[in-house]
Amino acid sequence: MEKTWLITGVSSGLGRLLAEKALIRGDRVVGASRSEDALPDLRARYPERLRIVAMDLKDQSSVRAAVDRAFAASARIDIVVSNAGYGLLGAAEEAGDVQVRDIIDTNLIGSIALIRAAVPHLRSRGGGRILQISSEGGQIAYPAFSLYHATKWGIEGFVESVAQEAAPFGIEFTLVEPGPARTGFGGNLARTKPLAAYEGTPAGQIREALRVSWVIKGDPDRMTDAMIRLADQDGPLPKRLVLGAEAYAGIRKALGGRIEELDRQKDIAVAADFTDEELARL
C-alpha cells in the first residue's frame, strides 16, 4: 500500500537516502529542507510524488508553517521522520555561546517543534507513525561531544513522554539510534576552538582520533532499509531501534553499567523514604 512520508533533513545523508528509497518503491514524499530547491534530481524524476517545503529548524514558527503546508497538501501523511541535525566536536568549556544555542535550537528544540506540530494533524486523521532519528549518543556519551549528547538525550526523554501522551490517538513513536555510518555526518561536524588545556585529555584524544581514518562499519543503505521495514511492520513499534554492531555493543555495555550501579545503591535509595511506621504517624 502506498505511503506518504514527511522527512526532514532530506537534502543529504540518511534523509535523502530514505526519501529516494520511498520514491523508488512508489511512495509519496514531502521533504523538508532549508530551501525549496533541494533535491532537483529527484524532483525531476518524481514530479508527481515529491514535494519540498522550506523549513528552518531554528525557527519554531517556520517549522509549524512547513508542517501545516505538508499536511494541507497531502490526503494523508503516514510516517513523519524527524531526521535533521548535526554534531558539535569539542569540550563544553570550549564552545561559544552561539554554538551552544545553535545546536540546541536545531537538534532539540527543532525536533520538539516538529513533533508538536505534527501530532495535532496525525491525531485528527486517526493516527500515524513518527520516527525520531536519535543516535547511539542518545544512550551513551563520549567526551568532546557533550552538547551533541545533550540534544540527543533530551529528545529521547521528550519522545519517551510524548509517546505515552499520543498513544490513545493511534500515534506511535520509535527512537532510531544509528551508530557511526558512512554518511557526511563526520565531515559536517561543527567544531569548537580548541584550548591547549585539553591536549592529552579524553576530549583532546577524541579530537585527535577523528583526524585519523578508521573503519566505519555502519552502512546507510542497510540502515534506511531497516527504517522502511520498521515503518511497514504490523503491530506496535519498538520504543527504540538500534542500528549497527558498535551501537549495539556500546549501548548494551552502558545499560549494564547503569543497572550495576543502581543495584549497588538499592539500600541508600530505599532508606530515603519514610518507613511504614512513620507514615502511619503523619
Which residues are designated catalytic? 11, 134, 148, 152
In whole angstroms, give the CA distance from residue 34 to residue 12: 12
Q: How many CA atoms lie within 13 A of 263 on its CB side?
A: 6
The helix (run of H) or strand (run of E) holding residue 72 is helix 60-72
Assigned CATH for 4-244: 3.40.50.720
Query: Residue 139, Cα to own-chain centre: how many angstroms?
Result: 12
Nine cell digits for residue 202? 579524553
For the chain, give the percent of residues with pLDDT over 70. 96
Distinct helix (H) and strand (E) counts, the chain:
11, 9
pLDDT tens digits, 23-55: 999 999 999 998 888 899 999 999 999 999 999
pTM of the model: 0.93
> CA nearest 119: which of 72, 74, 173, 157?
173
pLDDT tens digits, 87-134: 999 999 999 999 999 999 999 999 999 999 999 999 999 999 999 999
Could you state, in order of their start, the residue ranges of all structural domains in the chain? Answer: 4-244
In whole angstroms, give the CA distance from residue 201 to residue 260: 27
